[in-house]
Chains A and B, each alone.
Chain A
């Protein structure tokens, strides 16, 4: 198995730490003039998403984690797994479980493309694009004359996500939503 020594550490590198795949977020060398060098490293555990602070002596190494990000189209769910297909023309399919899909579930729309992170060849996480376009399936009727007030109301989207929208939004409209904040951006003309 490949490994990386402290001299190869850099942000974005995927390594195994305590048996879990992690991504290096920050790597800083600390060294008194002629003294021993250390690397102060921030790593995000890809299983738990938790950030770890670790110190390494110069020359220590970590095993490489077989982690890869791939663009995949969401196909369907059979209730237990969510099925994705590589967009590279290979038609290769991967089944992600509920843990891998996680919170992305509420943004999953068939035929849209997601980033699937594979760990040892199996889906570890599914990340939505920063913006998705989804149809409103339920919301209170729009109220005229209230647009200037800037009030808001909840709207349920086709994937089940509930977002806060301006009062003038009606059922059947397609909205652009920021998946990172869950915020409504604007209406999309269909």
Chain B
């Protein structure tokens, strides 16, 4: 017997209706606050250097332009708009990440990304709380630092722990030979995912902030209690990671140095080196206004709204059926 292909959607009509309402809520929220909705390419000339994000390449062939990447986030294009003087902007867009499929992951998903000129991470956290709690009707989030969360749930201080301490903690999940080439941040990511995350945002939503500087990505860095911490935050509800925000780095030189460091990590991991996005760097060089930005997973927000733990319940056609 030949199996019929699964042609039906995995999401119910009620979930699809909830998605439409969610989009309307988001657009209403930003219209009220005078934040401009924009559209940027989901098919871009460059990918990202981020060591742990794998883009999906495209085969553009037009007027001598070849290759291209489905964007893992609209960040670089939106920052170019900011540098060009757009003022505060937001976008609802599809983004793509290769190799990610599970109960909370699909290689194609919907992201809400927004930038607020003149905001720092604290002010943007307030706005994230307004949006998320306004939509989910949940209590406002508490704030816990990355360090506090690690000490509480993984019993380790991320800023002073030795590699030996980290490997010992990680030994619960990985064999010694698997740990051999796992970096310090790799160990911290493991503990975050396995020991900390499942406990976050259970009683009430919680922001995690003050990440180690090594996990700053595109955020500014400050000293807190003598340690370099990133102005980066994430929001967790019911153990689900919902968004990732930064008080944005505006220094082009530093930005280039981080891209190059990313590529060194990629090469060490046996991943392809990624071309640095020069148009993006030129925009930063021209001048990115002081701003804070955040990317929020709309599928996960909808999962919380309709009360499911499976992303397939809120996407019409996840990759197996796409």
Interface residues of A, Cβ cutoff 8 Å to B: 6-7, 27-38, 40, 55-60
Contact = CB atoms under 8 A, between A and B. Distances in A.
B269 A59 contact: yes
A38 B193 contact: yes
Contacts of A58: 52, 99
Interface of B: 50, 52-53, 98-103, 105, 173-174, 178, 182-183, 185-186, 188-190, 192-194, 197, 215, 217, 234, 241, 244, 269-270
A57 B177 CA distance: 11
A35 B100 contact: no
Contacts of A6: 99
Contact of B99 (A7, A57, A60): A7
Contacts of B194: 30, 38, 40, 55
Nearest to A35: B189
Nearest to B217: A34
A36 B190 CA distance: 8
Contacts of B269: 59
Contacts of A38: 173, 189-190, 193-194
A28 B197 CA distance: 15
Given A38-B190, A59-B270, A29 B100 contact: yes
B103 A32 contact: no
7 contacts: A6-B99, A31-B52, A34-B53, A36-B185, A37-B99, A40-B194, A57-B182
A59 B99 CA distance: 10
Contacts of A27: 102
Nearest to B270: A59
Contact of B101 (A29, A30, A57): A29
Given A29-B105, A57-B178, A60-B178, A35 B215 contact: yes
A89 to B, nearest CB: 19
Contacts of A30: 102, 193-194
B244 A34 contact: yes
Contacts of A28: 102-103
B123 to A, nearest CB: 21
Given A27-B102, A29-B105, 17 more contacts: A28-B103, A29-B101, A30-B194, A34-B215, A34-B217, A35-B185, A35-B192, A36-B182, A36-B185, A36-B189, A37-B99, A38-B173, A38-B189, A40-B194, A57-B186, A59-B270, A60-B178
Q: Which 6 interchain pairs have the tightest Cβ spacing?
A: A35-B189, A29-B102, A36-B189, A55-B173, A30-B193, A36-B186
Contacts of B53: 34
A33 B102 contact: no
B267 to A, nearest CB: 14
